[in-house]
Amino acid sequence: MVARMKGKSVQASGICKRYKSFFGRSSTIMENISLDIDAGDIFGLLGPNGSGKTTLISIFSTLIYPEAGSLSILGMDARRNRNAIRKCINISTAKPNFPWSLTVKENLRHYGMLYGLHGSDLSRTVRDQIDAFELGEFQDHRFEDLSTGLKQRLSLAKAMLNHPSLIFLDEPTTGLDPDISIKTRQLIRRIHEEEGISVVLSTHYMPEAEMLCDRIAFLRQGRIVALDTPHNLKRHLALGERIAVSYQGEADLAVLEEQPGILGLKAEKGRVEIIVDRSEESLDGIIKLFAKAKITDIAIKEPDLEDVFIELAR
C-alpha cells in the first residue's frame, strides 16, 4: 500500500454554478459549495438524482467552470493552472462512452496519446491497464460490442492512463449487475490503496458510500446539507441504533421515553421500536421496563446510510 499523501486534493470555497438559457433565463445549479478533501481520501458525493453531483464533479475536474467561488485542485489554482491540473487528474464518467468503432486497446491508445504518452511508454501503459482491469480477453472488441460492465472497466482503465493523483468517478456502478458492482468497488478500493490516489466518487448507492468513503458530502438541490464521516453522519442525525421489542402485556412507554440515551420511539400494539444512542448502554434498562410484560422478540439494527439518505433527502 502506498503511504497516504498530505495536504488537500480539493479545496473549494463558495462555488456557484448557474446555467443561462438561450433567452437569458438563469437557473442556479450549485449554490455556495465549500468543502475540503484530504489528499489520499476517498470522498463521496451523495444525493438524489438532480442534486448536483455530476455538476460538482465536472467543476472539480475543470470540465466546466463555476461562476463564483475559489477552487484549488491538488494545491493548484483551478482558474490559473487548468492544463497543469488536467495532467494530474482523470475522470470516469457516468454512462461511460467512447468512440464506438474503436476497440478497447485502440481507445486506450487514443486517450493515452492525448495525454502525451508515446512509444514504448504508451504501449506499456495501455498493456498495464488492460491487465489491471482484466480486459485482455476483450482488448480487440469494439466499444459498441462491450457489455455495460466492460464499458465501466474500460472507463476506469482510461482514467488511470496518466497515473493521476486524483480521479473522479461519477456513479461508477450505476446500471451494473450486483456481482459486477461488487467487483468494481473492489477495483476502486484497490486503485486507491495500491496507487495512493485520491478519489472523489458520486453515487446514490448507500452501501457503496459506506464501504468506500472516508467522508461524505450529502447534496440536495445544489447545496451541501451534510458533510462528515459515514459514522458521524449517522450519529449527528440522531439515527441511533434501533431496538425493536415485541411483547405481550403492559409496558410503561412514557417512562421509557424519558430514559437517558433514548432518542425516540415508535409504538404500535404489542411492538415498540426504540431509537437509542448506544444499544449496549440502554438495553439493560429497556428490558427492566418490560418487567410486567413478556418479551416475545427483540432485535437490534444499526443505522445505515440508507437511513441518512432518507432523512436528508426529505
Chain residues binding another protein by CB under 8 A are 17, 19-20, 29, 54-55, 58, 61-65, 67, 83-84, 86-87, 89-91, 93, 95, 97-102, 106, 109-111, 113-119, 122, 143, 158
Least Cβ distance, residue 116 to another protein (angstroms): 3
- For another protein, the closer CB: 35 or 117: 117
Shorter beta-carbon distance to another protein: residue 95 or 231: 95
User: Please, which residue, 64 or 238, has the CB nearer to another protein?
Assistant: 64
CB of 176 to another protein, least distance (A): 18
Please, which residue, 83 or 284, has the CB nearer to another protein?
83
* Residue 285 C-beta: closest distance to another protein, Å: 54
Nearest-5° Cα angle at 181, 176 to 182: 160
The minimum distance between CB 298 and another protein, in angstroms, equals: 50
Q: How far is the CB of 222 from another protein (least distance, A)?
A: 13
Q: Which amino acid is at 282?
A: S
Nearer to another protein by C-beta: 93 or 184? 93
